[in-house]
Amino acid sequence: MASAANANLNAVRETMDVLLEISMLLNTGLDMESLSICVRLCEQGINPEALSAVIKELRKASETLKVSENCTN
């Protein structure tokens, strides 16, 4: 039982490593933490296209904040 769980954990880890490298090659801007969250959201049934819209919206908002921070420096 425990070895099956370990095997599954190893499989997830390997898959995540491959997905992260693909993500980097495609220049998506996702780090491991945000990729893991996205994977879990996809597993919960969130549509990938809708999720990409959410990520782009969040980036726009946080970029605005960072730009205003640079302007005040």
Partner 1 sequence: SSSITDLLNALCSCSLSGVSWKRRALGGVSKESFHRALKKRAYGALLSKLFQDGTKGPASRQSATANTPARNKVLMMCFDLRVAGCREEAERLEELLEKLPEGESSGLKEVDAVLDLLVCLAGCAPPPFTSF
Which spans of this chain sit near partner 1 (rule: CB under 8 A)?
A: 8-15, 18-19, 21-23, 25-31, 33-34, 37-44, 46-59, 61-62, 65-66, 69, 72
**Amino acid present at 57:** E
Please give the Cα distance from 39 to 46 (Å, whole number): 10
CB of 55 to partner 1, least distance (A): 6
CB of 71 to partner 1, least distance (A): 12
CB of 2 to partner 1, least distance (A): 16
Q: Give the Å distances, CA to CA, from 27 to 3, 7, 22, 46, 50.
A: 36, 30, 9, 22, 19
